[in-house]
Structure 1
């Protein structure tokens, strides 16, 4: 179903998940500041954390920080809308799974009979694998959003491969199927990272509508951002983790019934 924009992300004949290459630190002290893309000279790749750690509640704000003035244009080989002859839209949720907000979003989707795509952070999925299973059991697609949410365009190829490959391996272990979709943190792809994404059997996905829920503009602000731009084939960006997401849940509960009453069908992304 993906149009020509996904050519670079066409599925490989097989999937191979590679360990970090020499020189790629697998566990360094601290974690990247998720309020902005990590600096080029200080990449960090933490190992699995204990589930009790509070890092999952730290905001990963600035998801679209690269879309402001001076930012590079979206990569032409990444899908932002999907060709469809029907009145379909594609709701996506990044940065989870989260023990509070992911179940709440799942309940809203279930109540409305809607499907969506969840781009998960590997270290969060590692801590809450049962939520990963809940997402899949409800019929939603699970995509790869890297292991620690770094800016891929600032990393060497070995680190990009580790971030994406490690997350794909975990999803495969939990669900029995490796993901075939990936979204780069901050929406930042370049040719090397896209090539690795392709080698790992995934198609890259962007977005056409930013709900801007990561700015916490209020339920009305999120609802207005989605309703004002909605159109057939649009991919909508929202978040179920990385910060306080109660506004996201309440906004979804408000605008989703209106969209469906207007004839829109929220569907999962299928490569």
Structure 2
């Protein structure tokens, strides 16, 4: 079977030769030819048209697999709380950042153990530290939308919610390199409008299974215990890398992450399920 590059060389040879044969036309794998049948192999060169024609250009112009239909994000009525996976899979998520005081320490620990995580960022925070989103992209982490200013969405109108989400997606795209595919409502307060707008923007809603309550600064040991006791296949762990003093969160990650790995957990990020 000829490749597109091979067809170009065949066409060039046919035009420059004084005598020869007509090349066979390759059919894209899994598809059917949309144009007329090719001339029989071995036809004398002098019987081919001596000037360019639409027929002769058609195989090159039409080469390639059929264009796939765009993915459609399903409209959900409640957020996803767990993730699918084989074996002891677990997802670590961090909210409210990025914060140059705490986020780098979390990224350093994740990099040390070659683990990927999810960061649900606020657009306002991201606009101050775009380099941290660029680092997340470089190190394979997933960045999600956590609104611009972390408001209670259930108290806002549709246009205000749209603005909070769209502005954040714009900042993420500029700094991270692509628009987010996940969003999380501040305080876990969801409503129909948030679900609808999220789906319209191509994002799935993700909540959590285990809340470390690190935002209450309960102590490093308490955070570690909540993670280890709540760990189970498919669990989504909620922690924070901004919104206050998150030194306990940084220290707790350094303690529980290697223990989870030693226990056989595979720390991963979720995959989208398109309709």
TM-score normalised by length of structure 1: 0.72
Work out the number of aligned pairs and report it.
200
Equivalent residues in 2 for 1:118-133 (5 A)? 118-133=119-134
Q: Tell me which residue corresponds to 2:56.
A: none
Distance 2:201 2:227 in 1: 32
Matched, 1:110 2:172: no
The 3-state SS of whatever aligns with 1:96 is coil
Matched, 1:11 2:73: yes
| 1:102 Cα deviation after fit | 0.5
Matched, 1:243 2:247: no
| 1:175 Cα deviation after fit | 2.4
Q: Is the 8 A contact 2:92 2:237 kept in 1?
A: yes
The 3-state SS of whatever aligns with 1:90 is strand
Matched, 1:134 2:135: yes
Distance 1:137 1:259 in 2: 24
The CA deviation string for residues 89-122 of structure 1, in whole angstroms up to 9 with x for no partner, is 0000001000021100001111111110000010
| 1:76 Cα deviation after fit | 5.7
The CA deviation string for residues 28-71 of structure 1, in whole angstroms up to 9 with x for no partner, is xxxxxxxxxxxxxxxxxxxxxxxxxxxxxxxxxxxxxxxxxxxx
The 3-state SS of whatever aligns with 2:96 is strand
> Which residues of structure 1 form unaligned runs of 5+?
1-9, 13-74
The CA deviation string for residues 106-148 of structure 1, in whole angstroms up to 9 with x for no partner, is 0111111111000001001001100111111111000000000
Equivalent residues in 2 for 1:86-105 (5 A)? 86-105=87-106
Q: Is the 8 A contact 1:95 1:120 kept in 2?
A: yes
Q: Is the 8 A contact 1:116 1:269 kept in 2?
A: no
Could you say which structure has the larger radius of gyration?
A: 2
> RMSD of the alignment, in Å?
1.3
Q: Is the 8 A contact 2:215 2:240 kept in 1?
A: yes
Equivalent residues in 2 for 1:49-68 (5 A)? none
The CA deviation string for residues 181-218 of structure 1, in whole angstroms up to 9 with x for no partner, is 00000011111111011111100000000011001000
Equivalent residues in 2 for 1:182-221 (5 A)? 182-221=183-222
Runs of 4+ residues over 3 Å off in structure 1: none
| 1:11 Cα deviation after fit | 2.2
Residues 211/76 of structure 1: CA separation in 2 closer, same or farther (3 Å cut): farther
Distance 2:270 2:142 in 1: 7
Q: Is the 8 A contact 1:218 1:247 kept in 2?
A: yes
Distance 1:86 1:179 in 2: 27
Distance 2:77 2:215 in 1: 25
Structure number with greater CO (CA < 8 Å, separation at least 6) is: 1
Q: Tell me which residue corresponds to 1:258.
A: 259
| 1:77 Cα deviation after fit | 2.1
Q: Is the 8 A contact 2:77 2:192 kept in 1?
A: no
| 1:174 Cα deviation after fit | 1.8
Q: Tell me which residue corresponds to 1:72.
A: none
The CA deviation string for residues 149-205 of structure 1, in whole angstroms up to 9 with x for no partner, is 001111100000000011001111222210000000001111111101111110000
Distance 1:192 1:142 in 2: 22
Distance 2:225 2:81 in 1: 20
| 1:84 Cα deviation after fit | 1.3
Identify which range, 170-179 or 101-110, moves more after superposition.
170-179
